[in-house]
Every structure is written in structure tokens, then in C-alpha cells.
Amino acid sequence: MSGRLIESLATTEPVSELFSDASVLQAMLDFEKALARAEANVGVIPASRADAIAAAATADSFDTADLVHGAFRAGTLSIPLVKALTEKVRASDPSAAGYVHWGATSQDVADSALMLILKRAREALCAGLTRLEDALLHLSEAYSGTTLLGRTLMQPAPPVTLGLKAAGWLGSVARGKRRLEAAFDDALVLQFGGASGTLASLGEQGLAVSQELARELDLSLPEAPWHTHRDRLAELMCACGVLTASLGKMARDISLMMQGEIGEAAEPGGDDRGGSSTMPHKRNPIGCALTLAASHRVPGEVAAFLSAMVQEHERAVGGWQAEWPIVATIIQATGVALASMTEVAEGLSIGRERMQANIEATHGVIFAERAMMMLAPKLGRDRAHKVLQEATSKSIEDERHLAEVLAEMPEVNQHLDPAAIRALEEPDQYLGVAEQFRERLRAGTSKKER
């Protein structure tokens, strides 16, 4: 992986590569190459000069350390890069050197290069989301009738189905994918405005060059340059933030289900995955941990991006210069969360017996609502509520099933027959419209629509 050791839990190899030195450098050079070709296509510069520029624009022929040093002095990587590219062109074709970066400004290079990187990131993220959707759809179908405790405020509640729970995760992920794709559609636009965003140096040919440049780079052409208008990019960062938080919610649920005393699910293991340096018995929720870590980092980065949006006039001091590391962190955090939860979902083990045992361990008190709704038409809601409070307290105190306690209460058994009381604690008989909700979530994320 091209990332540093300190980032080993914060990215994945494919996404890390997108922000590697070689990738960033080549994206900037691709802009310069495309600019020369676009200008040659509309007759701004001679075609032979564009060929010489394109031939020199290969990342492996540049000294990264020198560029980093130059960027620190210049306040942007674009300035030392253009100087270095100009010298390389001059060495092979002196007459072409003067046409390098013709009519562009430093921010045009930086922003458009970032768009090229994000275009590749889109492919990786959306492919990962499709895999995760498939895995969650399988979980929802396979466990559509599997009951487990509902939990509200971390306490046992009436049962739900694992199929509905997985469908809830699926619905959130699918909505996140739609937001992300829409945000990418808006954000992936060319940046080309020259010094003040008017392309004055190209005269009447500015728009024609812009159109050709957008075509060369396969980016959309915006209505005008957006040097200090960062709303499109901000929307993309926010979409990543929402998606990562949705993945974090899924990770939180599964990590809680993995607790030893709960034992309702387990991440895939093997190959030293989820082990402990001191406790051989452990099977840690590693995928969930990486996802939750990402979901903790991203909100602050999104806030930092939004703060940097307040930029001055036509070109900003410090605003856009802050963005590259923020964007890199957000995209990589989204990538590691997505990859982690895909691996979890595809290999998740389900403890059906523990799910049923956990329901049984409540001694039926989770069905107090059901009993109250059965008694309310007979006793009135307030009285029924008091009867069930008394019954559940006795059930918990004596460690007896709620149905047994209720069967001994005259006020109950005179209104409910013994068969109804015995059936009170059957989980699959108190699921309401869980299956209809699951189907509705599933219908909104079908493969046909994806």
C-alpha cells in the first residue's frame, strides 16, 4: 500500500493509490497535456508544440522531493511543477517550452487534477457500494423470518426480524449511494479560468479552449470557472460524510451483536483477522472498528471543508489550499469504511440459537406491550398499563415467565383465555408489518434499479 504506517488503518490500498505522489503528479500533468492538445485543436498553439509538451508530461521523470520543496516556497504545487515541465520541454523542443501552461493559472491545474482523481475514486466507491448492497440483500432474504430482540435505548424490546434489520442497513446504504452518485455528477467539472476567472489571456477563444479541454479530460464543463465557489465539492464531501455515518451505524449494531454475552453475530475470522496479542480466545470486530474510526474522523473533516468554503473574491488566501488533505482524508475514510463493512456483510456469521436464547432470557417481559394491548379494550388503557407494570415487576423479581404470572392474576384470566395467555410469548406472532417494511426497503434497492 502506498500510504504511510500511520495511515494503515485509515485507508485501503486501491483508494490510497489514488492519492499517492505518482497519481497526483500524473493527474496534474494530464491537465497540462490536455490543455496543450485542446489549444492546438482550436489553433491557439501549433500542434507540434502540443506533442512536445505531451511527450514530456510523464510522472516518472520528475523529482518529487524537489517539487515538494518548491511547493512549500510557492504556496502551491502547480508552480514548481509547471517550471519543471517547462524545463523538460525546453530540453527536447525549445520552441515548445513557451507554450506550457498557456493561459492557465495554478489553481486550474490543482482543481482539475483533483477532479481526475475523484473520477477514479467514484469508480472504486460505487463498485464497492454495489457489492455491499448485494451482500445486505442476501442477508435480508436469508434471515427474513429470523426473530431477535428489538432494542430501544439499549434495553430489550419487542422482537424484530434480522431480515428487517439488514434491510434497514441496505436502505441506508442505497440512499447513500444515490446521494454520492448525484454529488459526483455535480462535482466532476473542469476548472479553467486563468488569472481572474475570465480567460482574458485567450481572448475570444477562451470558451472554445474550455470546451475542448473538458472533452480531452472527460469532465463536464461548468457554466463558468469556480475558483472560489466550492459548493459542488462541498456537497460531495457531505455525501461521503452521510454515507460513512450510515456505515458506522451498521458497524455499531454488529459490534454490539458480537459482544460475548450477546453472541448474535460474528465477523469473518481467519488469517489473523480479529485476533488479540494477549488473549487467544478473542474474535474482535475489526471491520466494525475500522468503520467506526472512520465515522469518527469524517465529520470533523467535513466541517473543516465547509469552513474553508468562505473564500475571498476571485481567488482565495488559504481556502482552497486547505482542501487537498481534507478531501484525501474524507475519500480514504469513506473507502476504508465501505471496504470493511462489505467484508463484514459478506462473511457475517449469525447465531440463531443465541438470538432465541436472548429472547427467552427476558422471561417474556418484552411482550408486556402485547398483553397490555389485549387487555386495554377490557380494562381500559390506564388500568391495563398498571396491571402489566405489576406483572412485569413480579416476573423479573421471581424470574418467572410473564405468561405464568398473568395466568395467576384474576383480573387477567377472566378476560383472556388460557390459550391466548400461553401464546403471548411467541415471537413470530408479534412482528406487526415487519415483513412488509422489509419488502418495501428491498423493492427500493432492487438490482434492476441499480
Catalytic residues: 276, 315
Burial 96-120 (b: 16+ CB within 10 A, else e): bbebbbbbbbbbbbbbbbbbbbbbe
**Cell numbers 417481559 correspond to what residue?**
365
Write out the E strands in 91-153.
Answer: 147-152
Give me 407's grid cell: 395466568
Neighbours of 347 (CB within 10 A): 15
- Burial of 42-59, coded b for 16+ CB within 10 Å and e otherwise, reads bebbeeebbbbbbebbeb
Region of 318 (left: φ > 0; alpha: ψ -120 to 50; beta: rest) is left
Cα separation of 205 and 42, whole Å?
8
Please enumerate, as own/partner, the contacts of 16-23 that have beta carbons within 8 Å and a separation of 24 or more. 16/332, 18/117, 18/120, 18/121, 18/124, 18/331, 19/117, 19/328, 19/331, 19/332, 21/64, 22/59, 22/60, 23/117
233 sits in which H/E element: helix 231-257
365: Cα separation from own chain's centroid: 38
- C-alpha distance from residue 373 to each of 57, 370, 384, 388 (Å): 74, 5, 8, 10
CA distance 443 to 450: 11
With CA atoms as reference, report the closest residue to 294 among 324, 266, 329, 322. Answer: 329
- Joined together, the cell numbers standing for residue 138 give 442476501
Identity of the amino acid at 145: G
C-alpha cell at 438: 422489509
Contacts of 248 (CB under 8 A, 6+ apart): 291, 292, 294, 295, 296, 337
For the chain, helix, strand, coil in percent to 5 are 70, 5, 30
Chain centre to alpha carbon of residue 306: 18
